[in-house]
């Protein structure tokens, strides 16, 4: 048996596998993705694969912890946290995603939701991991709403409940968009949500 074609780069390999897996899980789903497909796509032999990820579940957990969580962090938590107000942060994110999906050909949905739907019921460790991401997401938005209220920028809204509504409607609309392969659901949902949010930020926005 031959020793050719071997490159020692443990971290690169782990990362490559995780990327390929994140992609495949997002697009085709966890159960519908075969380990062998990932091996082939990542150009990794069975032995190397197994060395880094002994089981499919561990790979799934790694992807959730290091890719899905990061996607929520960079796609939602950071933009909202760094925005002047929750309203503006949410607006930026929503409208950015709508623009992105307009340009793309295929809508694969919200990665967190995709994984959550399929895996939450199967494994408890996975479930609690996904739970944690939802919590962080919700917390970040709720904190921002709370800050806005404290600053007198927003009124008449329950920070945590509104955060839940924002996330839920985003997730649900993405699911509809994925099913329809059309951004309209997301756009319509955002139009209405936007109108609602504006009423709570009425004063500061009006005089702009």
Partner DNA sequence: ACAGGCGGGACTTCCCGTTTAT
Partner DNA sequence: ATAAACGGGAAGTCCCGCCTGT
Alpha-carbon span 183 to 205, nearest angstrom:
27
* Shortest spacing between CB 84 and a copy of itself, in angstroms: 22
Query: Can residue 198 be called a binding residue for a copy of itself (CB under 8 A)?
Result: no
Indicate which single residue of 16, 19, 23, 27 sits in contact with a copy of itself (rule: CB under 8 A).
27
**SS3 track for 58-83:** HHHHHHHHHHHHHHHHHHHHHHHHHC
Token pair 């060395």 in the structure block, residue = 51
Indicate which single residue of 45, 55, 74, 181 sits in contact with a copy of itself (rule: CB under 8 A).
181
What character string, x for contact with a copy of itself (CB under 8 A) and - otherwise, covers 127-156? Answer: x--xx--x----------------------
Indicate which single residue of 19, 73, 92, 175 sits in contact with a copy of itself (rule: CB under 8 A).
175
Alpha-carbon span 126 to 183, nearest angstrom:
29
* Shortest spacing between CB 43 and DNA, in angstroms: 8
Indicate which single residue of 83, 118, 146, 147 sits in contact with a copy of itself (rule: CB under 8 A).
118
Indicate which single residue of 82, 99, 151, 158 sits in contact with a copy of itself (rule: CB under 8 A).
158
Most distant CA atoms of the chain, gap in Å: 75
- Could you tell me if 109 and 45 are in contact, meaning their C-beta atoms sit under 8 angstroms apart? no
Indicate which single residue of 15, 19, 28, 48 sits in contact with DNA (rule: CB under 7 A).
48
What is the per-residue DSSP string for 132-179? HHHHHHHHHHHHHHHHHHHTTS--S--HHHHHHHHHHHHHHHHHHHHH
Query: Can residue 124 be called a binding residue for DNA (CB under 7 A)?
Result: no
Query: Can residue 171 be called a binding residue for DNA (CB under 7 A)?
Result: no
Radius of gyration over alpha carbons of the chain, in Å? 20
Give the interface with a copy of itself as residue ranges (CB under 8 A).
Answer: 1, 8, 10, 27-29, 31-32, 108-109, 113-114, 116-118, 120-122, 127, 130-131, 134, 157-158, 160-162, 164-165, 167-173, 175-176, 178-181, 185, 188-189, 191-193, 195-196, 199
């Amino acid at each position: 048996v031959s020793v050719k074609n071997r490159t020692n780069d443990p971290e690169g390999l782990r990362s490559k596998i995780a990327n390929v897996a994140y992609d495949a899980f997002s697009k085709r789903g966890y159960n519908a993705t075969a380990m062998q497909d990932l091996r082939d796509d990542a150009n990794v032999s069975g032995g190397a694969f197994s060395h880094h990820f002994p089981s499919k579940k561990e790979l799934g957990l790694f992807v959730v912890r290091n890719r899905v969580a990061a996607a929520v962090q960079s796609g939602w938590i950071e933009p909202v946290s760094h925005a002047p107000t929750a309203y503006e942060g949410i607006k930026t994110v929503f409208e950015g995603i709508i623009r992105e999906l307009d340009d793309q050909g295929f809508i694969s949905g919200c990665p967190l939701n995709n994984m959550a739907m399929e895996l939450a019921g199967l494994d408890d460790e996975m479930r609690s991991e996904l739970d944690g991401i939802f919590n962080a997401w919700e917390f970040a938005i709720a904190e921002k709403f709370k800050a806005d209220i404290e600053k007198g920028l927003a009124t008449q809204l329950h920070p945590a409940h509104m955060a839940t509504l924002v996330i839920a409607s985003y997730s649900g609309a993405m699911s509809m968009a994925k099913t329809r392969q059309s951004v309209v659901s997301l756009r319509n949902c955002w139009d209405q949500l936007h109108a609602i949010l504006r009423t709570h930020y009425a004063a500061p926005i009006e005089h702009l």
